[in-house]
Structure formats: C-alpha cells, structure tokens
Structure 1
C-alpha cells in the first residue's frame, strides 16, 4: 500500500502475475488509463495475450490540471516500472467527457474542432485535440484532453510511438466484441461517478454517451432515458453492467425494480488471466483491459 501526503496518491489495488519478468519488458505492452483523479496501469504479454499486472491508484487533493501533473510525476518517479523505456508498445487512454463520434467516411482530421464544437467547449490553451480510428466499426472518436499531460507522457518514452485514445474507444471495442444476440444490446459501465451507456446491434454501434451521476436514482434515470429513446422492453431487454458496482449494491437493486434482465459483465476472453486475478471482480476494469484491442 502506498499512501503519503508528500506524494498525494494512494494505491487502491495491485495484482501481479508471478510470471512477470522485468527482463522481458520488450515483449510487454504497457497500458495507461488516466482520469482526473485516478490512474490505472496494466501490463500484457504480447506473445500470448496474457495479463501480467493490474494497478489502480487514486490521485488525492487534485484541484487543477497542474496539480494532477505533479502528482503523476511523483507517482512515475517512485514507481519501479513506469520509467522504463523498452516496452514492446505503449497505449494511453484518457478519460474525458469532451468527445464526438464521427463516421469514418465523413471524418477530416483538420476539422476536429468543428466536430467537438457540437458537443462541448474546448480550451485550446490547455486542451489538445486527438482522434482514434476504429477499424471494425467505421467510426472515429475525436476528443479533447490535457495536452500537457499527453506531451509529458510522450516525453517519457521518446523512442516509442504511443497509441493515444479516449476511454470510450476502449469501451466501444469491448461492446462490439460481445457475442452477437438477437435485437439490440445495452451495455453500461459505471466508472466511479461517470456512467457510460452503449446500444449496439449486429456488431454496429447505435448509441454511446456518458453521464455524470451522484446517486443510484440518477443512474436509473439515464438508463431509462435510453430505454425510452430506443423503445426497449423493460421486461425482456438484457442489460450488461461493468464497473464500480456490486451485485447486491444499491444501484443494481434499484435498477432491477424497473428492468428485469440486468447482469454483471465478465472478464474479457481476449486476455488470459492467471488464478491470482480471481481477486479482481469479473466486471471490473473492462475499459483498461479492452485497450488491448486498440492499435
């Protein structure tokens, strides 16, 4: 456990495979997912698609973007792996509510600011504009995030071309990778106080949005709004949930009063997990793990 006022970060959980070999980093992919007040780290073996390390940190006393960068710098400086530069590959996922999904056929990189203007206000002084091309779904995720953070991460690994993506892109890959079912599929991810909702059908994405929530009642409200928009049947429509909620927690208990078929998601099949990862609930970290699918 790491927690100290001087560093202002706290280790929430860590699981490490005993097969992890620091001399084989050249075979490993480093996955970094960074939010306003958290960071998740995962290491996967590119040779056999196995998960070797998962760490979840909370960033404390974050009130400004500069404060977040200082805390992250402290965490990286004290971490035994993060400053290493000889990974096989590195991927950076950014949690941001500033995004816009654009059909590939209509996407022009020079027009990202115009796409984002439809959904949010971007401050060009502090936010950079990025995009991730989904190869399987013919959609581009254009998004804005702290450019100082991105530039700093890139400066740590000058010999690597880092894949930069939006948290939603990893989740889109997770949703579209689910086994096809008749009719529409509804998938929800609760990431602390942010609810992501997806609707897909025939491996095509029909809807994605995220909502800031403060209560189980708000979670129910937004899920029901999506049910109403797509005219879904509360008695029969399956809903799969991943994220920071529990089987007997308030959110699912309330949701099941209105929607009959609600279940928790499973660990992804595209990664191999040794027995020590059994301590991580199956429905946790789907966004982190699904970065593995993003090239």
Structure 2
C-alpha cells in the first residue's frame, strides 16, 4: 500500500475486507487508539468476531494536545465512515505513560486520582482520570487522558457510551487470552513507536506489566533483561514472545537473540477472525489494536 501524507499525518497502512458493508455499521464495533505519535482504528463485526478494517496513521510535527486533536479531527472528518454515529459500540484506547495498576480488592473508585498521583503528575486542567476493571485478572488500571480528546469523542459520537481504556489494558487482556494457560512463566513484549511494553504471565495469571521509553536497540535489551532478573526468568530457558511495529530482522531483535535463546514472534490473536486481505499485514503487528475489542 502506498503511503499517503499531509503536512501533519501519514497513512501507514489501510486494510478493508471485501465483506465490509457500510450499511451494517449497527452490528460493528469501532475500536480507536490515540497516541502521541499515531492514530489507529479497527472495525470488528461483533456477530462473527471478524476484523474487517484496520488503518494506521502516523502523526508528524505534533507539538501540542490541540494540534494532535486537530489532526485527528481532520482524519475523521475526511473519512467515509469512521465518523458515523451508527456503530454498535465505540471503544477508545489511549497510549499514555500515566497509569497505575492496583489489585481489585484494594481499589476504591473515589480514590482513583490518589492511586495515580503516587507515580504520575496529573494536570487537572487538561487531563481526566479514568479506570478500567480487568476481565481476565483482578487488576484495575487507573490512567490519565486528554480532556479535550475525550470531550471531542463524546461530541462526535453523541448517542454512544464510549468505553475508555488504556493501551496497557488492551495488551493485558490480549496476552491473557493468548497465553492459553501456559504452565511456565512467559514474557510477552510489544514494541511500539518509542515505547516498550513488557508483560509476564503464568497459568493465565498476570505477574507483571510495565512500559518503558526506548530510543535505541540497547534500551530494549536493558529493560527486558532487568525484568527477566526481577521476575526470575532465565535467558537460556524462558520464552520471550514479541509483537510490535518492527521488521523480522530489526536490529533490536538481532541484539536480543545474542542474549536470549527462546525468542519468537507472536501471531495474530485467535480471538478474532481475519479475512484474506489481512495477510498483507505481518502477524506480529497491531496486537494492541486488535485486543481493544476484548475490553468491556
């Protein structure tokens, strides 16, 4: 697919299945994902569990929240169907480093801001605090997201109750569904644009989740080895599964292979069906975007 661009965004990938029917939006789920560097969405037929559409936009020259919102508005306003208010449901996932996971047994909704304030500075004038109670684990994810983006989303889709989640929650739900009750501790990673997500699970239980800012190949190795040590994993015997926006021969992977024996790329999630048009996308890409569908 040829990349297309304006001054502030570039279409990286667009896939639309032949079975997508714009007249059937009321039976489709729209999953949006908003980051500092990108904007993505996918469309899932709820009745068949089939992913029908996926689009990935890279945002460029974005300096402020206002500029990012204006670019997202431009993409949506020019799009033939994403701005429709006919969807069965709409889920919005935010990529943000301002989050905190707490055990469900200790969680009090009225104290959400307090949990988050322990490790993040919340700018109350421009940020709102949300929380998501995980389905596949007892964890609650408390996170901050842009007030203006949320406000625009509610105005854009006035008749819908938006499900607001954190990117990490989508990944956690996806991993625990994908893990399939492995008896051994396994590390799962997602290589995003400038961010490394690390999860560890065992017997379908989440043991660890965190995200790290990364700039070079050595950063990926450093954080993965740190978590290996912290969780008690062995570079010689433990498994490392990799998803993300990278090529099979990426320098990060080649470096990791020198230190970790059992590395494999993750596959497309088995909780969704993918038409033949999606064969154009490497199996290890967009696992976070697809997993938004699991969050209820």
TM-score (norm 1): 0.97
Shift of 1:204: 1.2
Would you say 1:29 and 2:29 are equivalent positions? yes
Report the counterpart of residue 3 of structure 1 in structure 2.
5
Q: Deviations over 1:248-276 (max 9, x none)?
A: 21111100100000100000011111111
Report the counterpart of residue 206 of structure 1 in structure 2.
207
Do the aligned partners of 2:135 and 2:173 also contact (CA within 8 Å) in 1?
Answer: no
Shift of 1:120: 1.1
Counterpart CA distance in 2 for 1:195 and 1:4 is 28
- Structure 2 gap ranges (5+): none
Report the counterpart of residue 256 of structure 1 in structure 2.
257
Counterpart CA distance in 2 for 1:239 and 1:180 is 16
Counterpart CA distance in 2 for 1:112 and 1:169 is 16
Do the aligned partners of 2:15 and 2:277 also contact (CA within 8 Å) in 1?
Answer: yes
Report the counterpart of residue 171 of structure 1 in structure 2.
171
- Structure 1 stretch 176-185 or stretch 116-125: which is displaced more? 176-185
Counterpart CA distance in 1 for 2:142 and 2:269 is 25
Report the counterpart of residue 294 of structure 1 in structure 2.
295
Counterpart CA distance in 1 for 2:173 and 2:57 is 24
Counterpart CA distance in 1 for 2:254 and 2:135 is 37
Alignment of 1:88-127 (within 5 A): 88-127=88-127
Alignment of 1:75-86 (within 5 A): 75-86=75-86
Do the aligned partners of 2:101 and 2:142 also contact (CA within 8 Å) in 1?
Answer: yes
Counterpart CA distance in 1 for 2:233 and 2:83 is 48
Number of matched pairs: 293
CA RMSD of aligned residues (A): 0.9
Shift of 1:49: 0.4
Would you say 1:220 and 2:221 are equivalent positions? yes
Alignment of 1:138-287 (within 5 A): 138-177=138-177, 178-287=179-288
Shift of 1:136: 2.3
Runs in 1 of length 4+ with deviation above 6 angstroms? Answer: none
Q: What is the SS of the residue equivalent to 1:196?
A: strand
Report the counterpart of residue 63 of structure 1 in structure 2.
63
Q: What is the SS of the residue equivalent to 2:197?
A: strand
Counterpart CA distance in 2 for 1:70 and 1:110 is 32
TM-score (norm 2): 0.97
Shift of 1:183: 2.1
Shift of 1:201: 1.3
Shift of 1:97: 0.3
Q: Deviations over 1:24-57 (max 9, x none)?
A: 1011110100101211110010110001000000
Q: Deviations over 1:225-253 (max 9, x none)?
A: 00111221111100000001222211111
Shift of 1:105: 1.2
Counterpart CA distance in 2 for 1:213 and 1:223 is 11
Q: What is the SS of the residue equivalent to 1:284?
A: coil
Counterpart CA distance in 2 for 1:293 and 1:76 is 23
Q: Deviations over 1:53-91 (max 9, x none)?
A: 000001121001111111111111111112210101110
- Structure 1 gap ranges (5+): none
Q: What is the SS of the residue equivalent to 2:289?
A: helix
Counterpart CA distance in 2 for 1:119 and 1:174 is 25
